[in-house]
Amino acid sequence: MYLRTAFISGMKKAKSVREAASEWYKARKSPRFDDQKFNNYKAQVTAQAKLGSYRVLKIGGPNERLQLEEKLIALFSHCKHYRPSKNWLGNHAYRREIRYSGLWNVEHVGSPNEFTQSDLPRLKQLVDETLRGE
């Protein structure tokens, strides 16, 4: 329970999951910290991460990457057809944006600058170039 409280406390102060994890990690120095609980939680997160598959997309430059990132996050955050499972750890996040969007992210969540049909040709081009190794 202390770990969860430390993580939630970190999320209150943090702008990102990375910052919250850092705050949570600092809590390990506390005399109330339980290494066994931490190791169990770490094993669960690691197992879940190994179950997923990850895709990488080669994008020309940082400006295009940032624009594409914003548009896709906005699109996914507005999607009501697919929601995370009831067991998703983000359901316990302090930040409302994480709980309601289903994303481990708060930046660009709810942005009106969504990915649209007119963005599809460029995305297809990026995917094709990535698959060809260009």
What is the percentage of the chain residues whose pLDDT exceeds 90? Answer: 15
Q: Is the domain of 73 the same as that of 104? A: yes
Q: Nearest-CA neighbor of 106 among 25, 20, 5?
A: 20
pLDDT at site 70: 92
Quick: pLDDT tens for 23-64: 556 665 665 656 777 677 677 777 777 777 667 788 888 999
Q: Nearest-CA neighbor of 94 among 43, 25, 19?
A: 19
For every residue of 18-69, DSSP letters joined together read HHHHHHHHHGGGSTT--HHHHHHHHHHHHHHHHHS-------S-HHHHHHHH
The chain-wide mean pLDDT, for the chain, equals 76
Where in the sequence is the domain holding 7, given as residue range(s)? 1-53
Quick: pLDDT tens for 1-20: 444 444 444 444 445 555 65
Confidence at 21, pLDDT banded by 50, 70, 90: low
**Terminal-to-terminal C-alpha distance of the chain:** 48
34, two tokens: 């339980």
Q: Is the domain of 59 the same as that of 116? A: yes
Collapsing DSSP states into helix, strand and coil, what is residue 57? coil
Query: If you average pLDDT over residues 70-76, what whole number do you get?
Result: 89
Q: Is the domain of 78 the same as that of 134? A: yes
Q: How many domains does the chain have?
A: 2
